[in-house]
Structure 1
């Protein structure tokens, strides 16, 4: 019999017929137990279910790779997993494993890759894991692990990819960890409760410590309790850093000028902290930036002129700060921009022509899904062509003091949410609105609309709140009855030109923001959306992802 070195098993393997090389079969969950000592790899895939309770790890003295990921395993990780002492790669991710990580895991001293993410493990991390000194990749994310990192983690000197995201881990990220992780390229600790200052080994003097992290490319400390200044000091030794995510912490102070040394940086996300400086012009030296998110800090001053160098930027979020000044000087170079969110600042001036001396610019956006320009202090014209934009699912232009006629809207055949409240719309409610079968949210309140409200299809499901504040509207659901000469809902006023909007002017009386969904993203200007509106936005985003 030829030696068997690898066995791949899936749920299509006939459970009653097995290969002659197989000595033993356990059918409870379609797993084949092979007692041949020459087996080095077992890979099980498909919709299998069961536990590891009956897996005899001692039967596989030469097993180097065990892949049981995503097969609906339940129960605990058995203690005798430590008997598979030659294991180099152990993949048990995306199952329903619970309980603790057994201390016997420390017997797997040849282990290089351990993937236990996306389970329900709820213990502390055993210090014995630090005995697996050959570990290169360790992913424990997406569990409910608790407590601090064991001191023995400083022994993992070959670790390059460490993922501890979405757990309940706590304590300080002690300096001796980072100074020993000289091969580290990716560190993901988001959504835990780590505390303390950002360790000096990541971001500040002494420079000798930076040398230890010279390979770092990805750092994610999102959603912890880190406080203090943001990465003070010099970044000259971490020039490979491509993604830096520190959002949802308690960082304060300034964005240091030395951020400009990170010329490989592609994603910088610092949102929802307490940063209170101006934006340093040196940030414009990070010309490979694709995502820049500074949302919800206390940043002040104008955008630096150097922002025009960010020619690869696709997503820019600056909303909920105290930024000011005009925008027009920087837009012309942002040719890849898909998402722009700048609401709740004090920007001034016209809507930049680079976004929209619109007709040709917006009309060419074939995947425009969400348009939100609500509550802003910008001015300028608006394209009539959007009435034919059949991809639009959300339009929100509330509280920008529009004076306009509503006209042909029938081509917006996938529109789900329309909000023109608190403006100065005049004329009739167009009957075409009643033909939009996906329209589930409508708000035309507080305008100067008149005449009879259209009826038919599902349009009569909208309540009085959709139309309040229009004194001359009549008919259901309003209590005001229509006179005979007002029953004219199937057409538009003769003095109105063809098109969607006959915009007269946009006078802005509210505070700040500009949003338009561009190409593969969307821009949102307001922060307090009704839940239905938020759900529609999320569905629109999923449509973009599927494309």
Structure 2
């Protein structure tokens, strides 16, 4: 059969699909091959910076893409991470993130010979804080540049501004990189095509420029932790294509939320830890595409608008740590996609809305630290996916139905502490939350240990503090299957006996404020924080405590412990941060520190019977902030050798046997951060340490950030199992002290930041009050009483809240300016030469106080008169006693004594000074 041309065409068209289908099973053949000069440049770049040995410890764990770059492979376009233009063969894309690149890079790097690059990704490498090479500006065809987390440092080069085709620029997570000159404003004026901009963790230190609002193509803007300042332009919220905005962790950045427009494309909005204020507008409901909303740690106030229920795509809602008030809106029931809801740390009132229990996708619910009332809804068991439930520190009341809550089978964290439950219904003894790792029932009206604890085999963190658990801890509590337990808090109960530890992984044990008697229990070697203060423990501290190789905090204070401090405790200075042994009956020497490495930040051994001298090894404790050896029997001189401890805030050596003069500092800038100095009730002598007053700069500068806060607190955030346990040890219970205030020994259990104190009372200091005291403008309490100070005192001490110079030898009028007249009489008494309010002794008229000398009076007589007239009878007693013993002096002093007698208004003889009778015949 003869086929026509038309028949052949039909057959040909039928064969083509079959041929194409079979060709898919064959290896593809690249029609392009890379250029040799670019291949050489890539190999040279690999050779200079690739370190395959780093892959062993590389945090990302995958083999480097550069492993596929072989010298024998002539086509670089087939190498992993390399993309070429199919038509020209030039390298247009280079994706080398997580590729074990390490070392400094500069403009001579062969990488910059790849002139046709459109996309360059060097993220997650390590360029050793070298600058971004200026040659980056030669890659003018770049549309995407990703240098994220690659350890670049220094100022971003201005040549980046040449990359005007960039649509994506990611410089985030380079904490050493600065954006100042050029700054962000210049950048956005040049790079006008940007769609994605990430400068997170760069040091910007400037306001966000209004010009950012001109980037009409911008879809994502990430400026997290950039030290942004000023007020954020609200116009940026209105960018037509903006989907993601992250300004988190910029505490100096202020602003307010705008009125959001309809159909806004924003999907993720994060303003956590900024300084935004004002209300949340009801127009927030216009952000219908929103999936993540984070306004944590701001100053937002007012009610949560009910329109938030329109955000039906929302899966993450965080409004914690604000000033929000009112009730939780019922409209939250519409947020059926919500998996995380955090409203803690506000002033929310009313009951927990039953509607919340309908959000069956919730895995995390935190309503803690509010003012919520009423019971926990019984149908809370409907939250079948719930992993963490935080309701602590509210005013929840009624019966705590643990039997209902225990139906939440996936629960890991249950925090119900510090509410007002009247009673508790426990679950059945066989009931168990098999995954429960954190349980908080502090201040929950418990009178005994809950029975259900015996079935919680996965428990790692247990807080039963501030209850009324009484007597001896039952033995079965130590036998429960809590082998995973790491944190146990039984403080502030009525426990009388605790002798055994059976939890091998225990790291934190708090038994403070109980009535525990007997010997000090020995914790397991895994312990890190061991707190047993304010009990009735007796006996000696066992040397076994020296085996606690991980210990960072020991608090045995305010017990009845006796004996010596085991010398081996000095071996713990490598791990120990806080040591509090005050208020016991310990004696002997404080242990010598055995290691040059010392991590101690706080030592309080006050109110014991310790002897000897201060251990010189304390000079190695460069992080020491608080040192209290008060009320012991230490014999030593002033520890000037501690002057280099730049973090030392508090130095208390009260009531010991320190002696000698406080000499001149041996170096500059000694004790620069001292704010509380108590050397009272010792045997110091000589003049006041004016050179040190000049150096104590912390008492001269006002710290506005610290106003209202405890001026030092020990913070440690540790992860114990699945729960981050945050310790706040303020000066509250551990950094405390006593001060003589208005004649009364006053305990300061919490020391505020502005409490700057100098107490040098009850020593043997002599001389005048130095002018350098006047430079300590942030000083609030000054006690110089019970010394032998002379002269007048400074009128410029107008910043003091407490002042005591009683029982010295001061003279002259009390300044009637500022607050000097407001101090009580006992602040000045015992200075017989002082006069004026508040003392009853009136000052003489200034003209009369310095009379013209009588005719014939010598200069020597005048000088004696002026000097002695300012002093009280204590000095006159000694002068007149001298006259009695040496009659040859009488003639020259006769005019003086007569003058004193007249000025005192005493016309009768004999005048009496201090009980010594002087008769006219003797004077004549």
Matched, 1:174 2:233: yes
How many angstroms apart in 2 are the aligned matches of 1:145 and 1:304?
43
Q: Residue 498 of structure 2 corresponds to which residue in structure 1?
A: 429
TM normalised by structure 2 equals: 0.46
Q: Residue 206 of structure 1 corresponds to which residue in structure 2?
A: none
Distance 1:137-1:460 versus aligned 2 partners, 3 A rule: closer
Q: Output one character per residue of 1:302-329: Cα deviation in whole Å (capped at 9) or x when no partner.
A: 1222222222222222222211111133
Q: Residue 196 of structure 1 corresponds to which residue in structure 2?
A: 255
Q: Residue 52 of structure 1 corresponds to which residue in structure 2?
A: 106
| 1:472-491 equivalent positions in 2, closer than 5 A | 479=560
Cα displacement (A) at 1:72: 1.2
- Which residue of 479, 488, 491 maps to 1:418? 488
TM normalised by structure 1 equals: 0.74
How many angstroms apart in 2 are the aligned matches of 1:361 and 1:56?
71
Cα displacement (A) at 1:249: 1.2
- Which residue of 57, 70, 93 maps to 1:41? 93
Q: Residue 229 of structure 1 corresponds to which residue in structure 2?
A: 279
How many angstroms apart in 1 are the aligned matches of 2:304 and 2:529?
48
Q: What number of residue pairs does the alignment pair up?
A: 468
How many angstroms apart in 1 are the aligned matches of 2:506 and 2:454?
15
Cα displacement (A) at 1:118: 0.7
How many angstroms apart in 1 are the aligned matches of 2:270 and 2:429?
36
In structure 1, stretches of 5+ residues that fail to align are: 24-31, 202-208, 482-527
Cα displacement (A) at 1:298: 1.4
- Which residue of 123, 139, 143 maps to 1:69? 123
Q: Residue 143 of structure 1 corresponds to which residue in structure 2?
A: 202
How many angstroms apart in 2 are the aligned matches of 1:396 and 1:402?
12
Larger RCO, structures 1/2 (Cα 8 Å, 6+ apart)? 1
How many angstroms apart in 2 are the aligned matches of 1:339 and 1:390?
18
Q: Residue 160 of structure 2 corresponds to which residue in structure 1?
A: 105
- Which residue of 714, 723, 726 maps to 1:541? 723
Distance 1:182-1:20 versus aligned 2 partners, 3 A rule: same
How many angstroms apart in 1 are the aligned matches of 2:288 and 2:140?
38
Cα displacement (A) at 1:246: 0.8
How many angstroms apart in 1 are the aligned matches of 2:465 and 2:379?
27
How many angstroms apart in 2 are the aligned matches of 1:361 and 1:210?
55
Cα displacement (A) at 1:269: 1.0
Distance 1:178-1:452 versus aligned 2 partners, 3 A rule: closer
How many angstroms apart in 2 are the aligned matches of 1:139 and 1:363?
50
| 1:485-500 equivalent positions in 2, closer than 5 A | none
Q: Output one character per residue of 1:268-294: Cα deviation in whole Å (capped at 9) or x when no partner.
A: 111111112221211232222221111
**Structure 2 contact 164–190 (Cα < 8 Å) conserved:** yes
Supply the RMSD in Å over aligned alpha carbons.
3.8
How many angstroms apart in 2 are the aligned matches of 1:443 and 1:68?
49
In structure 2, stretches of 5+ residues that fail to align are: 1-31, 53-65, 77-81, 407-424, 542-558, 563-709, 726-924
Q: Residue 497 of structure 1 corresponds to which residue in structure 2?
A: none
Cα displacement (A) at 1:130: 4.0
Distance 1:52-1:15 versus aligned 2 partners, 3 A rule: farther
Q: Residue 267 of structure 2 corresponds to which residue in structure 1?
A: 217
Q: Output one character per residue of 1:111-168: Cα deviation in whole Å (capped at 9) or x when no partner.
A: 2221111112222314233443432222111221121223332232222221110111
Distance 1:254-1:17 versus aligned 2 partners, 3 A rule: closer
**Structure 1 contact 57–84 (Cα < 8 Å) conserved:** no
Q: Output one character per residue of 1:322-355: Cα deviation in whole Å (capped at 9) or x when no partner.
A: 1111113341222222222222211101223321
SS at the partner of 2:336?
A: coil
| 1:38-437 equivalent positions in 2, closer than 5 A | 38-44=90-96, 45-55=99-109, 59-73=113-127, 74-119=129-174, 120-123=176-179, 124-179=183-238, 181-192=239-250, 193-201=252-260, 209-211=261-263, 213=264, 215-230=265-280, 232-352=281-401, 353-356=403-406, 359=427, 364-376=432-444, 384-403=451-470, 405-408=473-476, 409-410=478-479, 411-425=481-495, 428-429=497-498, 431=500, 433=501, 435-437=502-504
How many angstroms apart in 2 are the aligned matches of 1:217 and 1:369?
34
SS at the partner of 1:368?
A: coil
Cα displacement (A) at 1:187: 0.9
Distance 1:220-1:361 versus aligned 2 partners, 3 A rule: farther
SS at the partner of 2:253?
A: strand
How many angstroms apart in 2 are the aligned matches of 1:295 and 1:198?
21
Q: Output one character per residue of 1:451-487: Cα deviation in whole Å (capped at 9) or x when no partner.
A: 7766686599997x627546xx776657599xxxxxx
Q: Residue 34 of structure 2 corresponds to which residue in structure 1?
A: 3
Distance 1:385-1:171 versus aligned 2 partners, 3 A rule: same
How many angstroms apart in 1 are the aligned matches of 2:157 and 2:262?
34
Q: Output one character per residue of 1:388-443: Cα deviation in whole Å (capped at 9) or x when no partner.
A: 544322221001223474323243223232221222446x5363x1x433324323
SS at the partner of 1:154?
A: helix
Distance 1:156-1:364 versus aligned 2 partners, 3 A rule: farther
Matched, 1:466 2:532: yes
- Which residue of 432, 444, 458 maps to 2:511? 444
**Structure 1 contact 328–354 (Cα < 8 Å) conserved:** no
